[in-house]
Amino acid sequence: MKNSTLIVVILLTGMTLINSCQQQAKEETIKTEWIGSEKQEIVNNIEFQFQGFSRTMVEVSHRYQELYWAGQDKNWGYAEYQREHIVEALEQGFMRRPEHEESAQSFVTVALPNIEKAIQTEDPQIFAEAFTNLTTTCYTCHQMEDVPFMTVTEPKIRHSIINY
């Protein structure tokens, strides 16, 4: 085979390969209702929908209030449920925004474990003390995270529909 013929054959094979790859890529287009059609676009949209740390805080704030009223009701099962879900919400939040984890050290390693112990005692007085400490630690983190205008005070009005 002449050199020029060989080059033509190589070029043709290359073009066929590229063409089939492009077709394969096209076939990977996914049909969805609204989240996108290309893989990368879908991943970007999922991340955007999960959002950052404020979503975590909206959830933590709700669970914090529920935890308070659970303690008032001496509904220890519900209190423990909320404590666990605060831990989980924070873990998910730190996965999305790892830069916030360090400021939450005392909240995660001291204040929340103290709440767990207080729940186990089923003593409203011990729980109240642990809860006051938890509230202070929420605000400590806000100060460290440059959101000192987000003060945290113990709930006064009950929104919870759960009752003992």
- Residue of the chain from 58, 95, 110, 162 that contacts ligand HEC (CB under 6 A): 58
- Residue of the chain from 66, 100, 115, 118 that contacts ligand HEC (CB under 6 A): 100
CA atoms of 36 and 102, how far apart (whole Å)? 35
Pick the stretch among 19-27, 40-48, 124-132, 136-144 that binds ligand HEC (CB under 6 A).
136-144
* Residue whose CB is less far from ligand HEC, 8 or 110: 110
Pick the stretch among 10-18, 24-32, 134-142, 156-164 that binds ligand HEC (CB under 6 A).
134-142
Q: Is 141 in the site for ligand HEC (CB under 6 A)?
A: yes
Query: The dihedral of CA 155, 158, 159, 164: what is its sign?
Result: positive
Q: Is 60 in the site for ligand HEC (CB under 6 A)?
A: yes
Q: Is 52 in the site for ligand HEC (CB under 6 A)?
A: yes
Cα 6 to Cα 54, 76, 104, 131: the distances in Å are: 62, 80, 66, 80
CA atoms of 95 and 89, how far apart (whole Å)? 10
- Residue of the chain from 68, 78, 107, 131 that contacts ligand HEC (CB under 6 A): 107
Pick the stretch among 30-38, 40-48, 117-125, 146-154 that binds ligand HEC (CB under 6 A).
146-154
Question: Under a CB-based contact definition with an 8 Å cutoff, are residues 107 and 138 in contact?
Answer: yes
Of 78, 60, 161, 58, which is closest to residue 127 (Cα–Cα)? 78
Q: Taking phi first (over 0 means left), then psi (-120 to 50 degrees means alpha), and beta for anything else, what does residue 104 get?
A: alpha
Interface positions with ligand HEC (CB under 6 A): 52-54, 57-58, 60-61, 64, 100, 103-104, 107, 134, 138, 141-142, 145, 147, 150, 152
